[in-house]
Amino acid sequence: MKNLCAVWLLLATSLITLAQPLKPTTRWQTDYWTAKWIMHPTAAGKQYGVYHFRKTFSLPQKPGRFVIHVSADNRYRLFINGRPVALGPARSDLQNWNYETLDLAPYLQAGNNTLAAQVWYLGESAPFAQMSYQAGFIVQGDGDAEKVVNTDNTWKVQQNTAYSPIRNDNAKLHTYIVVGDGDRVDAAQYPWGWEQAGFNDSSWPAARPLWFPAKPRGLGTDGNWQLVPRTIPMMAEAPQRLSTVRRAEYVRMTDDFLKGKAPVTVPAQTRAIFLLDQGHLTNAYPELTVSRGKGAVITLAYAEALVDNKGQKGNRNEVNGRTLVGFEDQFVADGGNRRTFRPLWFRTYRYLQLTVETGREPVVLDDLTGQVTGYPFEQKAVFASNEKSLVDIWNVGWRTAQLCAGETYYDCPYYEQLQYTGDTRIQAMLSLYVTGDDRLMRKAIMDFDHSRFSDGLTQSRYPSADFQVIPTFSLFWVNMLHDYWMHRQDDAFIRPLLRGVEGVLAWHEQRLEKTGLNGPLEWWNFVDWSKWEAPGESAGGVPAGARKGGSSILTLLQAYTGQRAADLLAYYGQNERAEHYRTLARQQTKAVYKQCWDAGRGLLADTPEKNRFSQHANILAVLTDAVPVAQQPALLQKVMTDTSLTQATFYFKYYLFQAMKKAGLGDQLIPQLKPWYNMLAMGLTTFAENPEPTRSDCHAWSASPLYEFLSTICGINPAEPGFRSVRLEPYLGELQIVEGKMPHPAGDIAVRFEKGANGELKGTVTLPAKVTGTLRWKGKTVALKEGSQDFML
């Protein structure tokens, strides 16, 4: 791609080899398991505890296949002969509790083998994303050869009393943080080597089988864990080293320490502080190795950015006059050699600060590494143009999306790690366009379906131990299902979810007033983190007219969803219901226009009082055709330039971009990216939740430009459900040359566009086998066939 700046894969390819889940055996999805859930014989099952389970067994020869099914509550880390091979289970709820199906044969040997697991139950210290029943662990051998490892009272167990929680000081952090507590590990109490085959566990007690049977979902008289097979791959892990020592107090440390070349000794009776910079935000398991220093206390603190004396982040690269205030772990040395601390869960950080306080003995910091982790997305899309700065937006956006994807999508990795529907809809589109991997999107759709409660709505975030409802996010779940339907042919998956769609729409319909606008709405009707003036709303993010009724924004969101739900229902033969929602949407859009259109300002108001105006109402007026199509370009021009309107933040700009594309204004996309350039100039290495001052420096809804580069600039969009055909309508704006490639279920879609001196468009389009489409450019249309084809318009 001569003279073009291309975008390539960011993640390391040197991954730690973990046992990847296999397709589960049907038997254990329908029959009671013969293995037992096991627990420590005397520990309280619903209180904080970390446990080690071991089983040594003998094999006559190295097996070619050795398949097990494994799960735990809260979580487990599995070892074979001292080697870590799996981490799970994938987060879910009790009615859909995941287990992993693994083939351990590559890790086994003839003779004795030791299967070991670290299992933890965090109780009140657990993150909000963790749902649970009680501490427990289970291994089910798939067949006769593997039943030797079935969990029962032949397993040994020990509670590791070295662990205790470090409570997060939310008052100190001045924010909402619900990722669980930090870990404090006292090395003097740690049974070092417990996972190794030669460890002496003779003093460990036998595990206690729990009284209730293990079973797949749908069997039995009691609830506990309803076991279902994992549907996503194991998380990736890859080694990663911090980049730079930014500050060292009282003891010298150089970058050679971070390279693993120069251990640092902290003398006795010393307090030393080391501020380390990863260079970019990351999700990783830090692994700190120390020697000697009995009684030395080492605190690891993590932050996205440093803050000044006013608590402001400012430029993320600056450290002078700034301090680290953040999440913490702690390790207490026991004087032994090469003791390694690794927290139970990954940490999110750009800056990692070590505070070392020694006693009578010096401590040696041998090494500090990280194991970067996340969903194993593979970047398959390519975007290139003659504008080099777009590469930075793509790369930082893709890092943002990666850090917000694990066993679920995360709104933000540092503060919450919760899967919210509004965020997830945007994240899922990024996944489809950049990687083609739809497995996490499917899981998210199912997670939200599982969250539905008696009102008919989905919960706003799920899985979550803390119940929260955002009715607008229920609407976005419906739209997310519509997105999936347009991009994948998967009727068996979609059809059963239509009952949930109707439940969501019925809740909103029941709350319409005779005026056609929404009436009083319960719960938290979040729309965007904009500076709304909405009396009576304390939660934030809510426009006027939610609590008392009469919001054009909330009414149009319902209409927007009803239009898409109608397409879904009609496709699946529910024509009467489809026409009902189409009619209702028309009635809503007409009612909004009649009562909220201000002819004097040429804008749609937020309520019939016409005293508040926002970008949001007018964006939705375009997306729903509440405003006549001929007026939409002029309306959007005004929306993009009138700063007196309540402004959309990064989240809702996704819908602004969709409205621009719909109104034929896609050529103006790049000028709309100024806020993203501002973030880069502020030293952010991921895109933030909000404009400054922001809480989260990493929020995947702000990575939406990646989707627009492919969907708007390259113009690649499905023309019909299942992406069976393609509609190409590129908007190059001031760009002269654009190349793009995105994965399609049938292969890659690749485009190259170049503008000529007289405004003509020429280039090449390549479509997968059996995929056709159309190319549109300034009112002209060209039919496209499978394979490669050149064109000039």
Sequence-distant (≥ 6) Cβ neighbours of residue 374 within 8 angstroms: 235, 236, 283, 402, 403, 405, 406
Same domain assignment for residues 244 and 218: no
- Provide DSSP, 698-717: --GGGGTHHHHIIIIIS-EE
Where does a domain end: 315, 343, 374?
374
- Cα(96)–Cα(88) distance, rounded to whole angstroms? 14
Instruction: Give the pLDDT of residue 173.
Output: 73
Say if residue 41 is in the same domain as residue 144.
yes
Q: Please indicate, yes or no, if residue 17 is contained in any of the structural domains.
A: no
Full DSSP string of 752-770: EEEE-TTS-EEEEEEE-TT
pLDDT of residue 18: 75
Q: Token pair of 127, please?
A: 């993150």
Place of tokens 């930090």: 182
Do 257 and 112 share a structural domain? no
Contact in structure between 185 and 163 (CB atoms under 8 Å): yes
Phi, psi of 384, deg, nearest 5: -145, 150
CA–CA separation, 271 and 521 (whole Å): 55
- Contact at 8 Å (CB) between 731 and 661? yes
Instruction: Look at the pTM and tell me if it is higher than 0.85.
Output: yes
Burial 683-713 (b: 16+ CB within 10 A, else e): ebbbbbbbeeebbbbbbbbbbbbbbbbbbbb
Whether 140 is in a domain gets the answer yes
- Residue 261 CA, distance from chain mean position: 35
Any domain includes 452: no
Verify that 256 and 228 share a domain, yes or no: no
The rounded Cα 84 to chain-centroid distance in angstroms is 24
**266 and 358 assigned to the same domain:** yes
- Please state, in angstroms and rounded to a whole number, the distance separating the CA atoms of residues 80 and 107: 6
Structural domain includes residue 486: no
Rounded CA-CA distance 532/646 in Å is 7
Give the burial class of 17: count Cβ atoms within 10 A of its Cβ; 0-12 exposed, 13-18 middle, 19 or more buried. Answer: exposed
- Looking at the fold, whether 646 and 783 belong to one and the same domain comes out as no
- 54: CB partners within 8 A, 6+ apart: 114, 115, 116, 155, 156, 157, 194, 195, 199, 201, 204
Measured in degrees and rounded to the nearest 5, phi and psi for residue 340 equal -110, 125
pLDDT of residue 168: 74
Number of separate domains in the chain: 4
Q: Classify residue 169: in a domain, yes or no.
A: yes
- On whether both 229 and 246 belong to a single domain, the answer is no
Instruction: Out of 374, 394, 413, pick the residue that ends a domain.
Output: 374
Dump the DSSP string for 331-360.
EE--S-SSEEE--SS-EEEEEEEEEEE--S
Helix (H) or strand (E) run with residue 27 in it: helix 27-30
Q: Is residue 519 within 8 Å of 509, Cβ to Cβ?
A: no
Phi, psi angles (nearest 5°) of residue 224? 40, -120
CB 277 within 8 A of CB 322: no
Count CB neighbours of 95 within 10 A. 13
Give residue 23's pLDDT. 82
Identify whether 711 is part of a domain: no
For position 136, which CATH number holds?
A: 2.60.120.260
522 and 584 within one domain: yes
In a shared domain, residues 74 and 142 = yes
> Does a structural domain hold residue 758?
yes
667 beta partners: none
Structure-token match 């370009």, residue found:
633
Reduced to 3 states (helix: H, G, I; strand: E, B; else coil), residue 543 is coil
Query: Measured on CA atoms in the order 323, 254, 285, 10, is the torsion positive or negative?
Result: positive
Handedness of CA 517, 522, 527, 528 (dihedral sign): positive
The verdict on 217 and 337 lying in the same domain is no
Q: Count the Cβ atoms, other than its own, within 10 Å of residue 58.
A: 9
pLDDT of 622 reads 98
- Range(s) of the domain holding residue 787: 737-792
In this structure, are 330 and 258 located in the same domain?
A: yes
In a domain, 712, yes or no: no
Answer for the pair 584, 637: CB distance below 8 angstroms, yes or no: no
Q: Which parts of the chain register pLDDT below 70?
A: 1-17, 169-172, 534-538
Task: Write down the pLDDT at residue 17.
Answer: 59
**CA-only gyration radius of the chain, Å:** 28
Q: Tell me the CA distances in angstroms from 483 to 385, 578, 706, one per residue in order.
A: 27, 17, 17
- The amino acid that residue 454 corresponds to is S
Burial class (CB in 10 A: 0-12, 13-18, 19+), 207: buried
d(CA 639, CA 646): 10
> Are both 202 and 322 inside the same structural domain?
no
Q: Which residue in 426, 464, 435, 430 sits closest to 448, CA to CA?
A: 464
Identify which of 604, 614, 603 has the alpha carbon closest to the alpha carbon of residue 644: 614
**CATH label of the domain that carries residue 641:** 1.50.10.10
Residue with tokens 């014989």: 41
Domain boundary at 374, 403, 434, which? Answer: 374
Specify the length of the chain in residues.
793
